Amino acid sequence: MTATGPITPECSSPLADHSHIHMAHGGGGTLMHRLIEEVFLSKLTSTPATDQHDAAIVNANGARLAFTTDSYVVQPLFFPGGCIGSLAIHGTVNDLAMSGARPMVLSVGFILEEGFAIEKLNRIVDSMALAAKDAGVQIVTGDTKVVDKGKGDGVYINTAGIGVIEHKLDIAPKSVRPGDVIIVNGDIGRHGIAIMAQREGLEFETTIESDSASVTASVQKLLDAGIDVHCMRDLTRGGLASAVNEIASAAGVKIELDEQAIPVREDVQSACEILGFDPLCVACEGRFISFIPEREAEAALGCLHADPGSERARIIGSVSVTKMPLVTLKTRIGTSRIVDMLSGEQLPRIC
Amino acid sequence: MTATGPITPECSSPLADHSHIHMAHGGGGTLMHRLIEEVFLSKLTSTPATDQHDAAIVNANGARLAFTTDSYVVQPLFFPGGCIGSLAIHGTVNDLAMSGARPMVLSVGFILEEGFAIEKLNRIVDSMALAAKDAGVQIVTGDTKVVDKGKGDGVYINTAGIGVIEHKLDIAPKSVRPGDVIIVNGDIGRHGIAIMAQREGLEFETTIESDSASVTASVQKLLDAGIDVHCMRDLTRGGLASAVNEIASAAGVKIELDEQAIPVREDVQSACEILGFDPLCVACEGRFISFIPEREAEAALGCLHADPGSERARIIGSVSVTKMPLVTLKTRIGTSRIVDMLSGEQLPRIC
């Protein structure tokens, strides 16, 4: 007898051992959501799962703040287009931006493995300094821990961030409405494929660089223009598929994506085909979707196109009424299929 | 040839390899301070090293906030008097309290090792929920990452916290003045010895329990009474010796400690003698020192004694003018010795 309950056919899968942590528990899919809901949310917070967003909103003596945290465990530490340091800045400022907050300050916690080269640490810290400067955010506090050789993986980084919310919008999954369009700010899947190629020593005709970048400037353009942004979500672990599924569930809506409209670079598409990946599930680190009332879609696209990071923004789908939350994809050949979240993730440790 | 420079006698010590991370870089002593100053502070922040405190002070739309972070890598994960979960709450709320802030919200980031038992995770999370409730702080946001088996140590936890500052004091090392007395809120060294005993399987006549606790209620009593608190510092990595040395340097003062006045429990004293430890350098996780003008010392002691966590608070030293920052100890036999920071730490991974 184990604590995992009665034996069912599902138990023959390695993922069916619910008594121990699996890599898939960190993958952004259904297993991670289950862990978060059953272990963390139920015990630690009073926020219902459906209100969960990239950052928490906090009122502090009259100031409306966004607060978020992420740990970074990416392997390899250095990859085309970035490293764990720049990623740790981009990921956290982007989470703040997704709440419509202007990122203000960050904390940084390092967990260093005994024996790690200080020269590498210096390169990582340099890239953090540069990324923070670009994103207009200050690093104001930090912490350093060292763990025994063999108990880490070079370096793990946690960043937490505070942003200020300077508008009256309620940017959150629950604000998504039938009639909204979904805009993505650029081509998807480059971060995950860049990591995978580096990790596995794969060579494609061109080097695929991660899309890791701060999206704060793009978001600020939408807000400054007074666009009625309903929701934003960055496409990290679990990719576009996880993002739209989470939001469809939280808002109780149907989301229809148009495959032909979703920008995927040709080299990324080829790599996905070789590796057997679905680009909809591959992580990005500089891409986000925004939910905008259709009447403001053109204005929103205008704002995004004015920012170099979002020059190729386009509409990739729409929101409609449904009895049951659902995501569908209109394929290139005109059929329609359901888009699910993966249970785990195609690629572990991409952030 | 290596990158560590010319060969000097110092190079024969394992700590003299400045090109790689050593356990001592995380120990709270001079090596950690050097790493922080040379790698992190110089590149990442504009705050001078002497202004560094347990938390950063941030102004956000008119609100005066304290912001701090700590990662927790303690081994063993469970120890007499607590576990990594309660410790991760206590450590971060205490850092906020040391700035005179009322802790408000926390973020939690978990780095879980593949194969970690979910039953253990549940116990850790339960202890976090309890500790947060006791400290009057809400956990509002979090993150989960999973790393491959052998690349972690069960679980690492990062907590970051925001507190609000509701008084006009400038509680910081630079506010310490000659004429201040130093008050400690209880006996020192229990956390470090509890961890060491558990880790090494040592048995003493009694089980020494960690002092891990939130000091927020004690601090709030001082502030509510309007005591002119100049500085506070919790006695974590590096213990009392590191705390007073850091403050003496930052304030440019001489600190004189009175050995006879420093409370050390008999069983802790015996354990230190057996293990060859100096209790002044052993970490606590529920102990702090406050620097108070002498005329307010009695009132401050009255406040502290009214809180169960600080019933045995007492004056252990004083601050005076000096040409060069210095910490001395008046020993039990009446002589005086200089108290230095250790270069590393007696015990690694105590928090």
| Beta-bridge partners for A68 | A161
Contacts of A146 (CB under 8 A, 6+ apart): A111, A112, A113, A114, B21, B22, B23, B24, B25, B26, B27, B348
pLDDT > 70? residue A117: yes
Nearest CA among A47, A58, A52 for reference residue A164: A58
B153 touches chain A (CB under 8 A): yes
**Does residue A12 or residue B239 have the better pLDDT?**
B239
CB-CB neighbours of B183 under 10 Å: 24
What pLDDT is stored for residue A2 in this prediction? 32
**DSSP percent split of chain A into helix, strand, coil, nearest 5:** 35, 25, 40
Longest dimension (CA), chain A: 61
Burial (CB < 10 A; 0-12, 13-18, 19+), residue A295, is: exposed
Residue range A284-291: mean pLDDT, rounded: 98
pLDDT digits (tens, 9 = 90+) for B251-265: 999 999 999 999 999
CA of A258 vs chain B CAs: smallest distance (Å): 31
Please, which pLDDT band fits residue B2 given cuts at 50, 70 and 90?
very low
What pLDDT is stored for residue A10 in this prediction? 34
Instruction: Return the minimum-mean-pLDDT range out of A343-347, B9-13, B22-26.
Output: B9-13
pLDDT > 80? residue A345: no
Residue by residue, what is the 3-state secondary structure of B126-144? HHHHHHHHHHCCEEEEEEE
Scanning A42-101 for CB atoms below 8 A from B yields: 43-47, 55-56, 58, 60-65, 67-73
**Does residue A262 or residue A28 have the better pLDDT?**
A262
Contacts of B335 (CB under 8 A, 6+ apart): none
Residue B338 CA from chain centroid, whole number = 21
Choose which CATH entry (2.30.30.90, 3.90.650.10, 3.40.50.1370, 3.20.20.140) describes domain A173-338. Answer: 3.90.650.10
Whole-number percent of chain B with pLDDT over 90: 80
CA angle, B54 then B58 then B63, to 5°: 125
Please, which pLDDT band fits residue A11 given cuts at 50, 70 and 90?
very low
Going across the sheet that includes A231-234, the strands are A231-234, A288-293, A180-184, A314-320, A254-258, A326-330, A336-338
Give me the interface pTM, i.e. the ipTM: 0.93
The amino acid at B274: I
Residues of B in contact with A146 (CB under 8 A): 21-27, 348
Find the closest chain B residue to A129 by CA distance. B44
Residues of B in contact with A36 (CB under 8 A): 142, 144
Long-range CB pairs of A321-327, under 8 A, 24+ apart, other chains included? A321/A178, A321/A253, A321/A254, A322/A252, A322/A253, A322/A254, A325/A248, A325/A249, A325/A251, A325/A252, A325/A253, A325/A254, A326/A248, A326/A254, A326/A255, A327/A241, A327/A244, A327/A245, A327/A248, A327/A254, A327/A255, A327/A256, A327/A257
pLDDT > 50? residue B7: no
Give yes or no for a contact between B146 and A21, defined as CB atoms under 8 angstroms apart. yes
CA distance A340 to A256: 12
What pLDDT is stored for residue A49 in this prediction? 58
Residues of A in contact with B86 (CB under 8 A): none
CB-CB neighbours of B42 under 10 Å: 12
Residue range A291-303: mean pLDDT, rounded: 98
**Does residue B232 or residue B202 have the better pLDDT?**
B232
Q: Where are the beta strands (DSSP E) in B211-267?
A: 231-234, 254-258
CA distance A291 to A103: 21
Contacts of B71 (CB under 8 A, 6+ apart): A109, A110, A111, A143, A145, A158, B156, B157, B158
pLDDT digits (tens, 9 = 90+) for A196-227: 999 888 887 789 999 999 999 999 999 999 99
Do A30-165 and A173-338 have matching folds?
Answer: no
Residue A230 token pair: 């309903």
Burial (CB < 10 A; 0-12, 13-18, 19+), residue B222, is: buried
CATH 3.30.1330.10 fits A30-165, yes or no: yes
Q: Which residue in A31, A53, A71 has the most chain B C-beta atoms within 10 A of its own C-beta, making it the best mutation to test that interface?
A: A71
Give yes or no for a contact between A182 and A290, defined as CB atoms under 8 angstroms apart. yes
Please give the C-alpha separations between residue A19 and each of A6, A349, B83, B115, B294, in angstroms, as whole numbers.
Answer: 13, 21, 20, 9, 57
What pLDDT is stored for residue B206 in this prediction? 82
What pLDDT is stored for residue A348 in this prediction? 84
DSSP secondary structure of A68-83? EEEEE--SSSEETTEE
CB-CB neighbours of A57 under 10 Å: 21
Query: How high does pLDDT run on average in chain A?
Result: 92
pLDDT digits (tens, 9 = 90+) for A243-259: 999 999 999 999 999 99
Contact between A60 and B162 using a beta-carbon 8 Å cutoff? yes
pTM here? 0.93
Instruction: Return the minimum-mean-pLDDT range out of A224-228, A306-310, B232-236, B338-342.
Output: B338-342
Query: How high does pLDDT run on average in chain B?
Result: 92
Residue range B136-153: mean pLDDT, rounded: 96
B217 touches chain A (CB under 8 A): no
What residue spans define the domains of chain B?
A: 30-165, 173-338
pLDDT digits (tens, 9 = 90+) for B147-196: 999 999 999 999 999 999 999 999 999 999 999 999 999 999 999 999 99
CA of A244 vs chain B CAs: smallest distance (Å): 19
pLDDT digits (tens, 9 = 90+) for B322-334: 999 999 999 999 9
Phi/psi for A156 (5° steps) reads -115, 145
pLDDT digits (tens, 9 = 90+) for B39-95: 998 899 876 555 667 899 999 888 899 999 999 999 999 999 999 999 999 999 999
Burial (CB < 10 A; 0-12, 13-18, 19+), residue B216, is: buried
CA distance B322 to A348: 56
Q: State the pairing for strand pair A101-113/B326-330.
A: unpaired
